[in-house]
Structure 1
Amino acid sequence: MSNQRAANDVLSIAYVERQLFARGPHVAAEPSLDRITKAMELLGVPQRDYRCVHLTGTNGKTSTARLVEAILAESGAHTGRFTSPHLTSITERITIGEQVIDVPGFVSAYTAVTESARQLDAALPDKLSFFEMTVAMAYQAFREAAIDVAVVEVGMGGQWDATNVIDADVALILPVALDHTEYLGTTTAAIASEKAGIIKPGGVAVSARQSPEVARVLKARAAAVGARIFVAEEDFFLHERQVVDNGQRITVRGLHDTYSDVLLTLRGQHQAENAACAVAAAELVLGHALDTHAVRSALARVTSPGRFDVRPGTPTVILDAAHNPHGARALAATLREGSPCRTFAVVAAMADKHVEGMLRALEPAVDVIVCTRNSSPRSLSPADLAWFARQVFGAQRVHLAPTVETAIGLAKRFAAPARHGCVQSALVLVTGSVVTVGDAMRVVPAPAPSAESTDLSP
């Protein structure tokens, strides 16, 4: 009976996923919240039943959402989280109580939203999109689970993103850089203006450290709508940071208290800064100082799959979903902190991304690059990617492979210890897209739960 039930669950998820993707992308010709607003009204506005931290920014949204979620959960809140895109299973987009929603819950949310969608599809010129459906499903699932606080990641932009149908208690804006320029604007100020749309009248906002032009836009938006804004390195601070074998130790001076000598298992300066933002956001949504033990427990256990995701072995494999120059720079900086003797990168990127900028950001930290393609039809071909790579790395450092799996195999052979005389500090890096990392996860096993953290230092 259990095997039959499992088979039915797989069939249900496969069917639901096909139906959702058949609705098309979440980028409409004319930006509007009308469809998602009407859908939520038909569902009884479930997004009003819980508090919310709403996150936007160019990079770091998923990791920071996980950090906020963990801190709130350790503080006693019953949480829900919505993030996108997913890595290997569509159910990853919705979590309840820090656990990926189960199949019956996911199918139930889809069924509830589909009833509303049928009415709207018949009445409106444009049907609900894939993304609008998944947002509505998440908000419905959160109500069904009677959560206290939702942690919601914007899909793209902010002002016109379907998630913005919620009036969040705290808007959290992570670093803003150039990405999705065809939709959001060609300057960081223009992109910041779109992302600032999640700051609501009379609300509260938290901002990461930003460039001066972005900071001006965010502060102007807050002033225009009568919102309070708290800014990293002005109102709250990352005081200390020390790289250790199993991550980094940080001290954060929040808005209500200082949290000292906290182990953060996520690696990199950018993740330490994300953690400081998460602390400030959690303090604001709860309205008081956090319990230091809760902060320490949360940050010591939080993971972010596909974000400097270390898979132990010989060689060690690191999966990172960096997909724009800003993310690639953070990745390169984190790699250099580990000081591997050589790094062999597998890269597959989408054709609409700033590929050359990503490669130039990675080059100082990468010795050899294997160009491939991922499973998305939007993927740049290995030959086209290699053309860009040769401009940056030179021909001798560039190789091609037809798939992510074969590229990982080739990179592992290059990283064999006999070739360069070191074992533990030779790395294979897989990066360029969330889809690329998702493909790699099907090839490179995750460490066992009891596995010790890998030391990346020489």
Structure 2
Amino acid sequence: MTDLPPDATQAPPSMEARPAETFAEVEDALLSRWPETKLEPSLDRIRAFTELLGEPQGSFRSVHLTGTNGKTSTSRMIETLLRALDLRTGRFTSPHLERMSERISIDGEPLDDEAFVRAFNEVAPYTHLVDSEQDHPLSFFETIVAMAFAAFADAPVDVAVVEVGMGGTWDATNVIEADVAVVLPVAIDHAKYLGDDAATIAAEKGGIIKPGSVAVLAEQTPEVAAVLLARAAEVGATVVREGIEFGVAARTPAVGGQVVSLQGLRGRYDDVFLPLYGAHQAQNAAVALAAVEAFGAGALDEDLVRAAFAEVTSPGRLEIIRRSPTIVLDAAHNPHGAEAAAAALEDSFAFSPLVGVMGVMEDKDHEGLLAAFEPHLTYLVCTQNSTGRSMSAAALGRTAVEVFGEDRVSVVPDLAEAIDRAATLAEAAEAIDVSIGAGAVLVTGSVVTVGEARAMLKGRR
């Protein structure tokens, strides 16, 4: 259990005051609550909250996703396929890249400011009731989860695609009874909260597998697979596994993404263009397809599948945000994600030089991130994002010098300046003693870093 600040057991002031009127007011109110980066593992608060709200999560069917990496991309793919089947969808993902309202989408679009304020005002009058009755007040994450469920119920949606915030068993999203539980590849991340070995983490994530559900399991290591299969057997869930019941039959890199053949649970789907890069995204697509088939859709029309996947986007995941030089954004923040991103860069591009801009969070495995990217980056600019959780550029730089060598690293704390420095190096390859080629910049290390870079660079295009 996380150590709590001295006043954490005291309920915050009553929220019976006037409703919020602006997005900024909602943002301030949510951020004043216990942060989502710290956990007090219990579903008591969220259960009490949703009970007061009339159990909105019971008014729609759901697909629940966990795993170490790939949740948001796969959620977006599942949602796109479900919408192609004329189902009204809600999607809850976290964290956000640029704006908090990105976390709650209906019909494929994030809530606009007015709808986000309305969702907050619907739940806000009940927050103080929960705060006063529980040992600890509602957190930011618990509050925004309830906002999402209330918004989905009000829409109303037919099905919600819900990504866990962290883990599974004790995650606030786990008050849903999902028809389909998706477990993407499990590796080590958030070790402080989830455990420092993959099997322990898998036991926590497997908590989203519920009695009578279908568990769609991405390819896992043997120890993780054993834990997840045991959980499914314990609760009587049906299991379908990547590489056995479904999977990627073939993939070929292509301009703007890749062309894949997917073996689903009910049929095979060939010549599917996926406008995302990397083998890991092809695997995410296979998982998404199996999840939708398992949801009850059965075999899907091949043209529908092709049309849906062709529309998929996943901002901040190997996203080309600018040309001349090319700037790529990828939110990899752990070694597993970094290895997948690096493999995709080698698979789909021929950048030379590739200059990295990296800003990481203090609690992440920055040594593992650096080691995963080192063989693929010509040069690295160490920076930091604007949050208090960010590791300082200087501290990151000290470790980077040990991994890359002093002549391949510079430290530029300001993110905008760091990107400009990297772009200059990518354009003038001779400045770092490599032959001139198709130079590019990769901004990575944290969702927050990538989100801040994305906001800056969109304005420059």
Could you tell me the TM-score, scaled by structure 1's length?
0.93
Where does 1:421-432 land on structure 2 (aligned, <5 Å)? 422=436, 425-432=438-445
Counterpart check, 1:217 vs 2:217: no
Which among 67, 73, 78 is matched to residue 83 of structure 2? 73
* Structure 2: runs of 5 or more not aligned: 1-18
Match of 1:195 among 180, 205, 211: 205
SS at match of 2:135: coil
Alpha-carbon contact 1:311-1:446 (below 8 Å) kept: no
d(CA) in 2 for partners of 1:214 and 1:418? 44
2:28 aligned with 1:18: yes
Give me the whole-angstrom Cα distance separating, in 2, the residues matched to 1:79 and 1:118.
30
Asked whether 1:336 is paired with 2:349, we answer no
For 1:380, the equivalent position in structure 2 comes to 391
Residue pair 2:249, 2:263 contacting (<8 A) in 1 also: yes
Which of 119, 122, 129 pairs up with 2:132?
A: 122
- Of 103, 106, 110, which aligns to 1:96? 106
Shift of 1:290: 1.4
Cα displacement (A) at 1:446: 7.4
Q: Distance in 2 between matches of 1:254 and 1:372?
A: 43
In the TM superposition, 1:136-155 aligns within 5 A as 136-155=146-165
Conserved? CA contact 1:348–1:380, under 8 Å: yes
Residue 4 of structure 1 is matched in structure 2 by none
Q: What is the CA distance between 1:139 and its match in structure 2?
A: 0.4
**Partner in structure 1 of residue 61 of structure 2:** 51
| Equivalent residue runs for 1:243-282 within 5 Å | 243-282=253-292
- 1:26, CA displacement in angstroms? 3.2
3-state secondary structure, aligned to 2:80: helix
Please give the secondary structure, in 2, of the residue aligned with 1:243: strand
CA distance in 1, matches of 2:38, 2:68: 20
2:351 aligned with 1:351: no
Residue 230 of structure 1 is matched in structure 2 by: 240
TM-aligned CA distance change 1:447 to 1:94, over 3 Å: farther
- The CA distance in 1 between the partners of 2:441 and 2:321, in whole Å, is 10
Moved more, 296-305 or 114-123: 114-123
2:452 maps to which of 439, 445, 452: 439
Q: Is the 8 A contact 1:311 1:447 kept in 2?
A: no
Contact 2:394 2:413 in 1 (8 A): no
- Residue 404 of structure 2 is matched in structure 1 by 393
What's the CA shift string for 1:317-341, capped at 9, x where partnerless?
0000000000000111011111212
Number of residue pairs aligned between Structure 1 and Structure 2: 439
Per the alignment, in what secondary structure is the counterpart of residue 151 of structure 1? strand
- Which residue does 1:36 correspond to in 2? 46
Q: Secondary structure at the match of 2:456?
A: coil
Q: CA deviation at 1:10?
A: 11
For the residues of structure 1 that align with 2:352 and 2:429, how far apart are their CA atoms? 13
Match for 1:336: what amino acid? E
Give the partner amino acid of 1:162.
A
1:313 corresponds to 2:323: yes
Relative to structure 1, is the Cα distance of residues 372 and 52 closer, same or farther in structure 2, using a 3 angstrom cutoff?
same
What displacement does 1:123 show? 2.0
**CA–CA distance in structure 2, aligned partners of residues 63 and 363 of structure 1:** 25
Q: CA deviation at 1:293?
A: 1.6
Equivalent position amino acid for 1:384 in 2: A
Match of 1:456 in 2: none
Aligned equivalents of 2:38 and 2:322: distance in 1?
42
Over 3 Å counting, the alpha-carbon distance change for 1:446 and 1:259 in structure 2 is farther
Residues 237/368 of structure 1: CA separation in 2 closer, same or farther (3 Å cut): same
1:415 partner SS: helix
User: In structure 1, what is the equivalent of residue 251 of structure 2?
Assistant: 241
* In structure 2, C-alpha distance between the alignment counterparts of 1:24 and 1:54, rounded to whole Å: 24
How many Å apart are 1:27 and its aligned residue? 5.7
1:420-447 deviation digits (Å, cap 9, x = unpaired): 5646x21100000001001101221279
Partner of 1:366: 377
Letter of the 1:431 partner, please give it. Answer: T
Structure 1 residues 353 and 29: CA distance shift in structure 2, 3 A: closer
Quickly say closer, same or farther: Cα 1:250–1:447, change in 2 above 3 A. farther
Structure 2: distance between partners of 1:294 and 1:426: 37
State the shift of 1:229 in Å.
Answer: 1.0
Decide which moves more: 75-84 or 285-294.
285-294
Q: Structure 1 314/269 Cα, relative in aligned 2: closer, same or farther at 3 Å?
A: same
Per the TM alignment, residue 76 of structure 1 is displaced from its structure 2 partner at its CA by 1.1
Please provide the CA RMSD for this pair.
1.6
Instruction: Report whether the alignment pairs 1:403 with 2:414.
Output: yes
Supply the distance in 1 between the matched residues of 2:206 and 2:24 (Cα, whole angstroms): 36
Q: Deviations over 1:225-284 (max 9, x none)?
A: 111111100110210000011210001110011111100001100000000000000111
Change (3 A) 1:366 1:29: closer
Q: Return the alpha-carbon distance in structure 2 between the equivalents of residues 416 and 268 of structure 1.
A: 25
Q: Cα distance, 1:33 vs. partner?
A: 0.4
- SS in structure 2 of the partner of residue 294 of structure 1: helix
SS at match of 1:39: helix
DSSP-derived class of the 2:219 partner = coil
Distance 1:42 1:320 in 2: 39
Distance of 1:30 and 1:445 partners within structure 2: 37
| Alpha-carbon offset, residue 312 of structure 1 | 3.2
Tell me: CA distance 1:228–1:381, structure 2 relative to 1, closer, same or farther (3 Å). same
Q: Structure 1 residues 28, 88: closer, same or farther in 2, change over 3 A?
A: closer
